[in-house]
A and B are shown apart, each in its own frame.
Chain A
């Protein structure tokens, strides 16, 4: 067992004017996850601690947090990697509702803007299904793995300074359909991405790539979208 000093940035809108740090001493196995430590605090020390988590296995993407100065999923980050002094705070660029819980609504709005669904009203050639070559399928393999945890968007300095930027997560999800050979709304998608608050605001900082728990090559996807906008002649 290890003794871990857990520092959590707490904020209760009903009692606090500004967020403050609180420290908790917790015992942990090296193979415990940071999420287990948060559970220990919430279940045995302070039940008012508020955070989001659902599957707790790196699939649902609900527990992205700023841990030890970098965005990660609390359910994937092990104590043996985090060390005995761990700091946890809410992800940046979004309003904190309480403690580690942020208002994700603007994030979902950006996501919805990208039309995250296949558009094709044509009847398939064989009347049954829209076939795709393995090479065409491969083009969106990487970006289809996004779990919408917001670790990338909330790690982006451009997004920190201006939340009107759609952010890397929205662009990744736009890319997934833009390069899909079955989709018929490519032009419309590219026009949305060519907005002044769209893909052009990326400054290739690579914080998104460093933060992504699925190791998606986000900057590559963003630059592929800018390339597609150029090829389509959109200004």
Chain B
């Protein structure tokens, strides 16, 4: 069976890692944009006084919110690294020959980077933290 380099069948077309990388770039970009809007709303509460602002900050001081923060960090790291991959290919088209290792590299680097970052964010909110 010829299944290497292929993942799941999404939208009726079997997705390759490169297509997933593109889809992930869109999804992470949209996710970060949505957080930006939330962030603007949340920081704007300072206009209603320090008490209101401090109260909104308590929404972030719990484990589910911190998991969301880890996802946000992963989206930022992935979007940045994958963006660099796209920029490299744009400037040096010959590098597109290596699109598979470059894609795997971005996914691996994001995963590795998220181990310490995730631990730093989550540890204080875990039972043993």
Which residues of A are in contact with B by a Cβ distance under 8 Å?
A: 66, 68-70, 81-83, 92, 155, 157, 160, 203-207, 209-210, 217, 219-221, 223-224, 226-227
A selection of 8 A-B contacts at a CB cut-off of 8 Å is A70-B13, A82-B2, A83-B1, A157-B19, A160-B11, A206-B96, A207-B13, A223-B93
Residues in A whose Cβ lies below 8 Å from that of B1: 81-83
Do residues B2 and A206 form an inter-chain contact, with CB atoms below 8 A?
Answer: no
CB of A86, distance to nearest CB on chain B (Å)? 11
Do residues B16 and A207 form an inter-chain contact, with CB atoms below 8 A?
Answer: yes
Residues in B whose Cβ lies below 8 Å from that of A92: 12-13
Q: Chain A interface secondary structure, helix, strand, loop or mixed?
A: helix
CB of A208, distance to nearest CB on chain B (Å)? 10
A72's nearest neighbour on chain B, judged by CB, is B2
CB of B10, distance to nearest CB on chain A (Å)? 9
CB of A158, distance to nearest CB on chain B (Å)? 10
A222's nearest neighbour on chain B, judged by CB, is B93
Closest 6 CB pairs of A and B: A69-B14, A223-B93, A206-B18, A220-B96, A81-B2, A205-B22
CB of A215, distance to nearest CB on chain B (Å)? 11
Residues in A whose Cβ lies below 8 Å from that of B99: 204, 206, 209, 219
Residues in B whose Cβ lies below 8 Å from that of A219: 89, 93, 96, 99
**A193 vs B90: C-alpha distance in the bound complex, in angstroms?**
16
Given contacts A205-B22, A217-B96, contact A226 B90 (CB under 8 A): yes
B17's nearest neighbour on chain A, judged by CB, is A206
A224's nearest neighbour on chain B, judged by CB, is B93
CB of A2, distance to nearest CB on chain B (Å)? 13
Residues in A whose Cβ lies below 8 Å from that of B39: none
Check: B6 CB closer than 8 A to any chain A CB: yes
A68's nearest neighbour on chain B, judged by CB, is B14
Do residues B12 and A223 form an inter-chain contact, with CB atoms below 8 A?
Answer: no
- Give a binary string over B1-31; 1 marks a CB under 8 Å from any A CB, 0 the rest: 1100110010111101011001000000000
A-B pair number, CB within 8 angstroms: 65
Identify which of B13, B22, B89, B90 contacts A69 (C-beta below 8 A): B13
A78's nearest neighbour on chain B, judged by CB, is B2
Residues in B whose Cβ lies below 8 Å from that of A82: 1-2
**A83 vs B72: C-alpha distance in the bound complex, in angstroms?**
41
Residues in A whose Cβ lies below 8 Å from that of B97: 217, 220
Do residues B93 and A227 form an inter-chain contact, with CB atoms below 8 A?
Answer: yes
Residues in A whose Cβ lies below 8 Å from that of B89: 204, 219, 223
CB of B127, distance to nearest CB on chain A (Å)? 43
**A160 vs B12: C-alpha distance in the bound complex, in angstroms?**
12
Check: B94 CB closer than 8 A to any chain A CB: yes
Check: B86 CB closer than 8 A to any chain A CB: yes
A69's nearest neighbour on chain B, judged by CB, is B14
**A223 vs B91: C-alpha distance in the bound complex, in angstroms?**
8
Do residues A207 and B94 form an inter-chain contact, with CB atoms below 8 A?
Answer: no
Residues in A whose Cβ lies below 8 Å from that of B6: 70
Do residues B14 and A70 form an inter-chain contact, with CB atoms below 8 A?
Answer: yes
Given contacts A205-B19, A220-B94, A227-B93, contact A210 B13 (CB under 8 A): no
